[in-house]
Amino acid sequence: MDVLMSLAVICLVAVLGVGPAAAAEPASGAAGNALKDIRETLDAGKKLLDEGKPGKAAARVAEASQAIEALAAEGTAPTAGLRSLWERCRSLRNDLELEGADVSGISRAPLKMGTAKASSPKPAAGKPAGKPMDAAAPAAGAAKPVAAARPAAKPAAKPALTFTAQVAPILSRHCGGCHIAGRKGGFQMVSYAGLMKSGMVQPGAGESSRLVETILSGDMPRGGGKVSPEDLGVLMKWIDAGAPFDGPDPTAPIDGLARQATAPPPAVVPTKPIVAVKLKAGDVSFAADVAPVLLEQCSGCHDAMQPEANLSMVSLERLLRGGRGGSPVVSGKGAESLLIKKLKGAGIEGQRMPLGKPPLADDVIATIQKWIDQGATLDLLTPKADLETLTAAGRSQKLSHDELKKVRFQAAGSLWTRAIPDEKPAVIERGDVLVVGNLSAAKLEELADTAEAVEGRLREEVMGGKPPLIKGGIVAYGFAKGYDLSSFWQTAFSDERPKGVTAVAGVLGDVVYAAVVPPAGGKSLGEKPSAGKHDGQTDASALLAEQMTTAALLGRGVPAWFAKGAGRAVAMKFEPKADLVEAWRRDLPAAVQRCGSPADFFGGRGDPVAMATVGGGFIAAIMPSVSRLEALVAQLDAGTPFDQAFASVVRGQPQPLFEAWAAQQATRGPRR
Ligand code: HEC
Ligand code: HEC
Q: What is the 3-state secondary structure of 92-159? A: HHHHHHHCCCCCCCCCCCCCCCCCCCCCCCCCCCCCCCCCCHHHHHHHHCCCCCHHHHHHHHHHHHCC
Residue 252 pLDDT exceeds 60 = yes
Nearest CA to ligand 1 atom 24: 185
Q: Identify the domain boundary among 363, 389, 415.
A: 389
Mark whether 466 and 614 lie in a shared domain. Answer: yes
Is 345 domain-assigned? yes
At 273 the pLDDT is: 66
Report residue 163's pLDDT band, with 50, 70 and 90 as the boundaries.
very high
Which atom of ligand 2 approaches the CA of 338 most closely?
29
pLDDT digits (tens, 9 = 90+) for 501-526: 999 999 998 999 999 999 875 443 43
Of the pLDDT bands very low, low, confident and very high (cuts 50, 70, 90), residue 542 is very high
Q: Which range has highest mean pLDDT (172-186, 221-235, 309-323)?
A: 309-323
For residue 448, the model assigns a pLDDT of 96
**Does any ligand 1 atom lie closer than 6 A to the CB of residue 187?**
yes
Paired with 433 in beta bridges are 430, 474
pLDDT surpasses 90 at 588 = yes
Residue 645 lies inside a defined structural domain of this protein? yes
* pLDDT for residue 29: 64
Determine whether the shortest distance from the Cβ of 183 to ligand 1 is under 6 A: no
Q: Which of 172, 222, 228, 231 to mutate to test the pocket of ligand 1 (most atoms within 8 A of CB)?
A: 222
**Overall number of domains in the chain:** 4
Q: How confident is the model at residue 155 (pLDDT cuts 50, 70, 90)?
A: very low
Q: Single out the residue of 605, 594, 592 nearest to residue 659, CA to CA.
A: 592
CB distance 311 to 350 below 8 Å: no
Q: Predicted confidence band at 272 (pLDDT cuts at 50, 70, 90)?
A: low
**Which numbered ligand comes closest to the C-alpha of 302?**
2
- Of the listed ranges 196-200, 255-259, 630-634, the one predicted with least confidence: 255-259
- pLDDT value of position 263: 58
Please determine, for residue 585, whether its predicted confidence score (pLDDT) is greater than 70.
Answer: yes
| Residues 471 and 617 grouped into a single domain | yes
**What is the CA angle 634-636-637, rounded to 5?**
65
Residue 131 sits in the same domain as residue 10:
yes
Ligand approaching nearest to the C-alpha of 330: 2
Task: Point out the least confidently predicted range of 116-125, 157-166, 461-470.
Answer: 116-125
Residue 404 lies in a domain: yes
pLDDT band at 429 (very low <50, low <70, confident <90, very high): very high
Beta strands (DSSP E) in 466-582 are: 474-478, 503-508, 511-516
Where among 337, 361, 389 does a domain terminate? 389
In this predicted structure, the answer to whether residue 110 has a pLDDT above a threshold of 50 is yes
Same domain, 15 and 81: yes
For 608, other C-beta atoms within 10 Å of its C-beta total 18
- Band (160; pLDDT cuts 50, 70, 90): low
Determine the pLDDT at residue 114.
Answer: 63
Q: Are residues 331 and 233 part of one domain?
A: no
pLDDT at 162 over 60: yes
Report the CATH number at residue 513.
1.10.390.10
pLDDT in tens, 46-75: 888 888 888 888 889 989 888 888 888 777
Whether 266 shows a pLDDT value over 50: the answer reads: no
Q: Tell me: cis bond preceding 468? Omega within 30 of 0 counts.
A: yes
Q: What is the pLDDT of residues 552-569, one digit of tens each?
A: 999 888 999 999 999 999
Q: What is the pLDDT of residue 452?
A: 94
Q: Where does the pLDDT of residue 672 fall: very low under 50, low under 70, confident under 90, or very high at 90 and above?
A: very low
* Closest residue by Cα to residue 615 from 583, 582, 669, 658: 658
Query: Which residues form the domain of 84?
Result: 2-157
- In this prediction, residues 414-434 reach a mean pLDDT of 94
Rounded to whole angstroms, the Cα distance separating 468 from 432 reads: 7
Lowest-confidence segment of 84-93, 374-383, 430-439 by average pLDDT: 84-93
Confirm whether pTM is higher than 0.75: no
Ligand 1 center–CA 179 separation, angstroms: 7
Provide the pLDDT for residue 303.
85
Of 298, 312, 353, 367, the one to substitute when testing ligand 2's pocket (max ligand atoms within 8 A of C-beta) is: 353
Cα dihedral sign for 280, 327, 605, 512?
A: positive
* Same domain, yes or no: 153 and 169: no
Quickly list DSSP for 197-235: HTT---TT-TTTSHHHHHHHTT--S-TT----HHHHHHH
Measured CA to CA, the distance from residue 390 to residue 316 in angstroms comes to 9
Q: Angle CA(543)–CA(548)–CA(553) in degrees, nearest 5? A: 130
pLDDT of 134 > 60? The answer is: no
Q: Is residue 267 part of a domain?
A: no
For the chain, give percent helix, strand, coil, nearest 5. 55, 5, 40
What's the CA gap between 477 and 551, in Å, rounded? 12
The per-residue pLDDT for 532 is: 42
**Ligand 1 geometric centre to CA of 227 (Å):** 13
Does the residue 276 lie in any domain? no
Higher pLDDT, 474 or 186: 474
pLDDT band, residue 530 (cuts 50/70/90): very low
125-129, 350-354, 521-525, range with the lowest pLDDT? 125-129
pLDDT at 202: 92
Q: How far apart are the C-alpha atoms of 507 and 474, rounded to whole Å?
A: 10
Which ligand number lies closest to the CA of residue 348? 2
Greater confidence, 643 or 128? 643
What would the mean pLDDT of 606-634 be, rounded to a whole number?
92
Whether 243 and 327 share a structural domain: no
Least trusted range by pLDDT, from 111-115, 417-421, 658-662: 111-115
Which of the four pLDDT bands, split at 50, 70 and 90, describes residue 614? very high
Ligand 1, closest atom to CA 212? 35
220 and 152 in a common domain: no
Q: What span, in angstroms and rounded, lies between the C-alpha atoms of 553 and 557?
A: 7
Is the four-CA dihedral 420, 425, 430, 431 of positive or negative sign? positive
Please state the atom number of ligand 2 nearest to the C-alpha of residue 298.
37
Q: Among 334, 362, 389, give the residue marking a domain's end.
A: 389
> Which ligand has its closest atom nearest to the C-alpha of 324?
2
Q: Is the CB of 243 under 6 A from ligand 2?
A: no
Q: Say if ligand 1 is within 6 A of residue 182 CB.
A: no
Q: Are residues 132 and 26 in the same domain?
A: yes
How does the average pLDDT of the chain come out, rounded?
A: 81
Residue nearest to atom 19 of ligand 1 (CA): 185
- The reply to whether 68 falls in a domain is yes
Do 143 and 91 belong together in one domain?
yes
User: Among all ligands shown, which has an atom nearest to the Cα of 235?
Assistant: 1
Q: Comparing 30-44, 400-414, 415-429, which segment has the lowest mean pLDDT? A: 30-44
Q: Are residues 65 and 91 in the same domain?
A: yes
Residue 279 lies inside a defined structural domain of this protein:
no
Helix or strand or coil: residue 313? coil
- Residue, of 176 and 235, whose pLDDT is higher: 235
Of 8-12, 582-586, 612-616, where does mean pLDDT reach its minimum? 8-12
Residues 436 and 333 in one domain: no
Q: Is residue 278 part of a domain?
A: no
Instruction: Decide: 200 in ligand 1 pocket, CB within 6 A.
Output: yes
